Every structure is written in C-alpha cells, then in structure tokens.
A and B are shown apart, each in its own frame.
Chain A
Amino acid sequence: MDSALLIHRLHFAFTVTYHYLFPQLTMGLAPLIVILKTIAWRTGDERYDQAARFWAKIFGINFVIGVVTGIPMEFQFGTNWSHFSRFAGGVIGQTLAMEGCFAFFLESAFLGLFLYGEKRLSKGLHWFSAVMVFLGSWLSGYFIVATDAWMQNPVGYQRVADGSVQLTSFWQLVLNPWAWWQYAHNMSGAVITGAFVMAAVGAFYLLSEKHIEAGRIFVRLGVIAALFVSVFQIVPTGDEQGRMIARHQPVTLAAMEALWETQPGAPLVILGQPDVANRHIDNPIVAPRMLSFLTWRSWTAEVKGLNSVPQKDWPDNIPLLYYAYHIMVGLGTIFIAVTAIACLLLWRRKLYESRWMLWILLLSFPFPYIANTAGWMTAEFGRQPWLVYGLLRTVDGYSKMVSAGNAWFSFLGFAGMYTVLSILFLFLVRREIEHGPEAVVPKGLREQIDRLTPAEVR
C-alpha cells in the first residue's frame, strides 16, 4: 500500500471512529430522555423531570463534541477523498445534503429550545422539543446510514461518459434495502450504549449511596431498555444484516468468518486466530454446520469461501475484520446475558441491593462503545478493497493532489485536537456526574424557602 493511500485511510478511520463515540450516545440517550420527559409530563413526578434535566446536560456536552467532530467528516469527502467525491458526489451528495437540510436544522433549532428554553416554554412544548431533538438525531443517522448503504450496495445510479455516476432513482437511493436493516441495527446499537451508560451512572450513585432516588430511576430505565435493544440487536437486525451480506457480499462474509473454502455445511468459528498466509485457523473452537444454518437456514447449504474469488478482491485486512466481527458478536451476546440477569433481579426487587450486579453494570459501560466501533469496522473493512462496492476501488478514491506529508500534517493536528477534546469531555462529564441531578424539593417547602429573607437563610 503506498503511503499516501495509507495515511488518507488512517485519517478518515481515526476521525470517524472518534466522532462516532459521541453520536452513538446522543442518539441512544435521545429516546431515553423522551421516555423520562413523557413519564414526568404524564405523572407530574418531579423526580423524572430532574432526571431528564440531568441527562440533558450530559447530552448537551456530548452533542457539542459530536457536532464539532462531525463537520470534518463531511469536509473530508472533498479534502481527502476527492476522486471518490467526483465519482459519487452526484449520488451520495443527495443524502448528505438532505442530512443538513432536514436533520441538522431540526436538531440545532430544537436543541437550543430544549436545553435553554425550559423556563420560556410550556410543559407540552418542552416535551415536544425533546421529541424533535430525538427525531432530528435519528433522521441524521438515517441519512448517514443510507449514504454508507449506497457504498455497500449501490442502487439507483448510472455511469456517465466521464466515468462518474449520476442518480437515476431518488427512491431507490433513499429506500435502499441495505439501509433498512443496517439502520435498525445501528440505532439499536446506539440505544444499547445510551442505556448502559444510564444504568452505569445509576449504579455508581447506588453504590456510593448518594442521589439514591435518581440512581434507581437510571438503573431501572437503563436495564429494561438495554435488554430490549440487546435482543433486537441480534434478532432480527443482526441476523438479517448478516444474511444480506451473504447475498450481496459473499466474500465479505467469508472473510468475517475466516471461511477459506467454499463448502456445504460450513462451520461457525467461535474462537481462534486466523492465519491468512496458510489459510488456517489456529486452535479453533467451532460449531459444526452452524454457519450454513444461520446464513441459509439449512444445515447443509453451501456457503461461499474466500477461494471463490481471486485474492485481489479479498478484503485487505482479514484478521482485523475477523476480530472486529467476533468482538461485536461476542459482546452482543454478553449484553443480553448481563441485562437479562439484571432485569430478573429487578423483577424480584433485589437489584438495588445486589452490589455485585451494580458493580457489573457500572463497569460494563465501555463495552457497548467497543461493540459499536467494532460493528462499523466490520462494515467498512468488509467492504474493502472497494470504496463503492464493485464500482470504485479504495486505491482509486483518495485525493491524488494532497501529498502524504500534507495528510500527515492534518492527521497529527486532529490527533492533538482530539486529545484536548477528550480531556475536556471527561472533565466536564465527571463534573456533571459528581454534581448529580438536582434534589427534588417537596412542593410546600420550595415556597417556604423562596419566602425566606437572606438573613434567615444564613
């Protein structure tokens, strides 16, 4: 791989991986905040309002970093991947521009109202702005997934004389079947992150015996939501996503599973280290015939192996793809186990006292981030060596006019900038968690306090 290509790939990979740490939490928290706001509005229970306010602050910090690290993503299509942009801009520019016109305007306008307008808005309107922020962030997610889906499974386009592609069907682009499952899978992945983070903060409060009321709300909502989405993540979304890959990108599936030879009744490798040079897996633990069944719902069906295509069309980093995929699936399975046990304890009314379970919940929150990242790595490494599947190779997509030296310059700049952002983020979030939700003051008492003169307060 020549060095300019490598650095342009690293540039995008680094900035997009870092970026997605933040939107996954905002997209995941948004529906949970709507649930909190809804309960608060319907029951008039002040505790839920305070809980929503607390999470709105975390949401706000996250959102800012998500926005500022997101802007470079749109720019980089032009700056670092100009040949790709020239080739595909007429098609994927549509979804990216729609994200700006529909999602960003909605989100930015209502986020201002939601975060800073609570005193000026009625209860109903404030609830409405929370719903709109949720809608905006999820809409934004859809347009991005639709863009990626077109790169995975190009539809609704034609090649024109200058070699680029042009849009022929708007609806095929927007309703790309690839996008549906990918979107469902991705969004429930985001909610897993949101729910685990909420449960972890709740567990932290319960374990440290402060903000007990809020802690219980967080743990309760967190584990229930997490169980639902963790199951949904595997069946049907993960399953369907996998089968779609088998149909449209058989070589990707073969690389994810390290299946070297095409064979009937193919086994599922659960653990083991792939050795690409020798087409071998070291110390494998396999489930016989399982891959055939999962893919084609038949124990004897033939599954295409890597040998079905020339090596130049294999994904160029099979070990990393294999591990990313296995880490994602492994963690997904663990999420179901953890949340199922937690929900069982909740149902038996033992969860808030089970310190061991609270410790597990507290320490689990990084794993959804890892699983989401690994999932995207699976999607993007799996697409290699193509940038647009079957149409444009990655090696032909980067900016030929931007030298490796200039790309390193900005890569290092981003690395430094993101280090600063990380420190700030951790510092600010820690502060908010330390501070915790405001205490709920009983109605009569609040008015009494307001009537006190400063001297009396002292």
Chain B
Amino acid sequence: MATVWFMIVAVMVAIYVVLDGFDLGAGAVHLFIARDDDERRTVIRAVGPVWDGNEVWLLAAGGTLYFAFPQLYASGFSGFYLPLMMVLWLLMLRAIGIEFRHHVQEPVWKGFFDTIFGLSSILLAIFFGAALGNVVRGVPLNADGYFFEPLWTNWRVGQQNGILDWYTVMCGVVALVTLVVHGSLFLANKTEGELNRRARNVASWLWPVQVLLTVFNLIATVWAVPGILTNYTRWPIGYLVPAVVIGSLIYMYFAHARRNEKGAFLASCAYIIAMLVGAVFALYPNVLPASTGAQYNLTIYNSATGVHGMSVGLVWWSIGMLLAAVYFVFLYRMFKGKVKLEEGTTHGY
C-alpha cells in the first residue's frame, strides 16, 4: 500500500513538473523572446487561463504527501525551511506578475510585472531542480528523523550538506535549461509569426546544451551518490528509463527540425517524465536518504501513515483525479490552438 502511494505522489509531482513546467519555462524565456507589448500579452494569454490550475498540482501533491507520508512531510519541510520560504515568496511574485499586469495601463508598470514574472520563473526553475538534487543526494537526518540544512556550507557533497553544493546547483541549471526548452516549445505551439520563430530558435540553440547537461548530470549523479545504481542492478528493466531519456531527446531534435511543434513539445514532456522516473526508481523504497548513514534513511515504510487512511484515501483520490482530468481536458480544449489577440479588449489578459 505504501508503494502505491509512493507512486501516486511521484505521478502527481511528474504531472506538476510537466504542466507548471511549461508556464515556468515560458515565464523564464518571455523576457528575451517577447519584445513588445502585444507579444508579451500573447505569452500571458497562452499561460494565463491554465497556470493556476497547473500550480494546483503542486498543492495537491503536497497535501497527498502530507497525509500519506506525514513523517516525510514533517522532516522534509522543516529541514528545507529556508529554500521553501523563498519558493513561497517567488510563487507569490510570479502570480502577481501574471495576474496583475492586465489591470494596469501604464507601460512602466507593465514592464515591472513582466520582469517579476520572468525573474521569479527563472529562480523557481533553479530552486526546484536544486530541491530534487537534494533529495537524490541525501540530507543529514538525525536519529529522530529530522534535519536542518543551511543554504550552503562548503559547496561540497558530504555529510555537512548545505542546500546548495556543486551537485545541487548543477541540478538547478539542468532544471532551468530543461524548462526553458519546454516552455519555448510550448510557446511555439501557441504562437505565430516572429514570436513563434524566436521561441523555436531558443529551443534549437539550447538542444545541444540540454543533451550535454543531461549526460554530465547522469555521470555526476552516479559519481557523487554512491549506491544510486542499486535498484538498476537489481531490476535491469530500469535501464529502459535512460533509454527513454535519450530517445525523447533524439525525437525532440527531429520533430523540431521538421517543424512538428506538437511532437517536439510531447518529446520534452516525455524527457521530463523519464528524468523524474529515473530518480524515483533509483530512490525506492527510500523517500529521503540520509547522508549521515543508511540507518537514518526515511523510507516508505517508516514514514507512511496507517493502512486504513491509505485505503480510504485511494477511493477519494481516484474520484478526485477523475474529476480533475475532466476539468483539465475541458479547460485545455476551451483554450486550445494558437493565441490570437483581439483588438480593443479592455479586460482579460
């Protein structure tokens, strides 16, 4: 049962990263590719009706984690106290940047909101990557199952970890590049003309960087985190995951070259999911490994709640997800296709 909930949380996180990933990426790149007010409005229009729903996946995944693995929630959230607080502030700024821009008319303030939206998106992408890096690398859990990490210590991967060391910073950069590509491919899908061309250009330029970083990141992970390949050795089927990573990158290249915008975006989705699955597969059954010794690891067994809670949870969770799927299909169909700015609209994005 705990394994089921482990997978459920992982799936919800993956959905979150794929969905909110494109609006984060779009935010991170829009300052550079959308040059005038109409283009910026087009970007906001593309993500406006859906970003909030996408972000709900973060909340829903958090809530699910909370009730299924209360011990993990308690120790992870208090241990990552400082970066989480900053993530909260960035999420606030980002929401303001998107939602309040169209309430003001003065160009000065529009630029201000655009910059806020852009910077907070960039920083969030880096933070999320670094967070994942921390989970993979392990944290200094004590015997009570708690820890507290300062933002940085000596930048080395060791026992006295900070949130940021060379490894987690690299994960942050990988996340940023991945999401910028993801967001650019999304914008290419939603836009036409110059904006579309610039979005595709960004994706073309960054593709080799993404490939290089992926390879580098995989090697670094294997080198920096001993025992990360245990599950792969035990169940060699896991090697399918890196195969999917490579396959999706290759498909992305060809789809992109043939101007198959939808195909390239889907390849990016597959890439993100495969990267996450790879990490989750390596971790199982740990949910938060300890850098202080394997006996302190938080696993799905020592951090899960009781069986009754998990069973009833499964019932309402399934109903809830079914409903959510219906809303999302409806919402995305309603706003599908390329964004077209109507003349003279006074309200709306």
Contacts and interface: CB of A to CB of B under 8 A. Distances in A.
A113 B147 CA distance: 43
A71 B306 contact: no
A421 B96 contact: yes
B132 to A, nearest CB: 17
Contact of B60 (A64, A92, A97, A111): A97
Contacts of B334: 113, 117, 120-121
Nearest to B146: A401
B74 A89 contact: yes
Interface stretch (B168-176, B287-295, B323-331): B323-331
Contacts of A410: 81-82, 85
Contacts of A109: 53, 327-328, 330-331
B308 interface: yes
A402 B70 contact: no
Given A402-B81, A417-B92, A431-B104, 10 more contacts: A79-B85, A86-B75, A93-B73, A100-B60, A101-B316, A109-B328, A401-B146, A413-B89, A421-B96, A428-B100
Contacts of B335: 112, 117
A102 interface: yes
7 contacts: A86-B71, A93-B73, A96-B63, A97-B317, A104-B60, A108-B53, A417-B92
Contacts of B234: none
Interface stretch (A164-172, A228-236, A259-267, A283-291): A164-172
A335 interface: no
User: What does DSSP make chain A's interface, helix, strand, loop or mixed?
Assistant: helix
A14 interface: no
Interface string A396-416: 000111110010011001100
* 3 residue pairs, one from A and one from B, having the closest CB atoms: A93-B67, A78-B77, A89-B70
Interface of B: 48-50, 52-53, 55-56, 59-64, 66-68, 70-71, 73-82, 84-85, 88-89, 91-92, 95-96, 99-100, 103-104, 146-148, 305-306, 308-309, 312-313, 316-317, 320-321, 323-324, 327-328, 330-331, 334-335, 347-349
B52 A102 contact: no
A106 B81 contact: no
A117 B349 CA distance: 11
A85 B77 contact: yes
Contacts of A227: none
A366 interface: no
B320 A167 contact: no
A9 to B, nearest CB: 15
A111 B335 CA distance: 13
A417 B89 contact: yes
Contacts of B92: 68-69, 71, 417, 421
A93 B74 contact: no
Interface centre among A96, A100, A406 (most CB of B within 10 A): A100
Interface in A32-80: 53, 57, 60-61, 64, 67-69, 71-72, 74-75, 77-80
B78 A74 contact: no
A85 B74 contact: yes
Contacts of A57: 347
Contacts of B81: 79, 399, 402, 406, 410
Contacts of A116: 48-49, 348-349
A73 to B, nearest CB: 10
Given A96-B67, A109-B328, A64 B95 contact: yes
B45 to A, nearest CB: 9
Contacts of B305: 89-90, 93, 166-167
A252 interface: no
A16 to B, nearest CB: 14
Contact of B78 (A167, A402, A413): A402
A91 interface: yes
Contacts of B306: 90, 160, 166-167
A296 interface: no
Given A94-B67, A100-B60, A105 B320 contact: yes
Nearest to B318: A101
A424 interface: yes
A1 to B, nearest CB: 20
Contacts of B63: 74, 93, 96-101
A58 to B, nearest CB: 11
Contacts of B48: 112, 116
Contact of B79 (A77, A102, A401, A432): A401
A428 B113 CA distance: 13
B330 to A, nearest CB: 7
A64 B100 contact: yes
Given A67-B95, A98-B316, A82 B78 contact: yes
A110 interface: yes
Tell me which of A92, A94, A410 has the highest count of chain B C-beta atoms within 10 A of its own C-beta: A94
Contact of A431 (B62, B103, B316, B331): B103
